């Protein structure tokens, strides 16, 4: 039996990363060595998507600046977001984003990130 995860794209399509700002958290907060506070502007073109990914060890907050987006979760549930909406993802979140609209989706994403070395 196929699951929502089986049908989810693994790769990104039509995704652009724009302006990015990073703060190294190690010097700022004890115990946060190797972690970054990262803010990025992401654009998903019409018909594009962000492939299936997990937020384990990478909590995030997303603010939708433009367009409308469908987020599909590992359990198959979906949520629709539009400009002005905000959402978060925690360690239990596995999902992917899909732009079914006619205009680009633009998101402002902030996360705690641990770059792979």
Looking at the chain, the whole-number percentage of residues with pLDDT higher than 70 is: 94
**DSSP per-residue letters across 17-80:** EEEEEEEESTTTSTT-TT-EEEEEEEEEEEEEEEEEEE-TT--EEEEEEESEEEEEETTS-EEE
Q: What is the CATH number assigned to the segment(s) 4-113?
A: 2.60.120.10
Q: What is the rounded CA–CA span in Å between residue 29 and residue 78? A: 36
Q: What is the pLDDT of residues 85-116, one digit of tens each?
A: 999 999 999 999 999 999 999 999 999 999 87
């Amino acid at each position: 039996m196929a699951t929502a995860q089986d049908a989810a794209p693994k790769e990104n399509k039509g995704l652009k990363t724009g302006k990015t700002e990073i703060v190294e958290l190690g010097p700022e907060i004890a115990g946060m060595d190797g972690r970054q506070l990262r803010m990025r502007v992401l654009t998903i073109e019409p018909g594009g998507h962000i492939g299936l990914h997990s937020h384990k060890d990478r909590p995030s907050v997303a603010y939708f600046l433009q367009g409308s987006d469908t987020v599909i979760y590992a359990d198959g549930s979906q949520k629709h977001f539009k400009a002005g909406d905000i959402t978060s993802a925690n360690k239990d979140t596995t999902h992917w984003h899909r732009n079914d609209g006619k205009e680009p989706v633009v998101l402002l994403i902030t996360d705690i990130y641990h770059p792979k070395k």
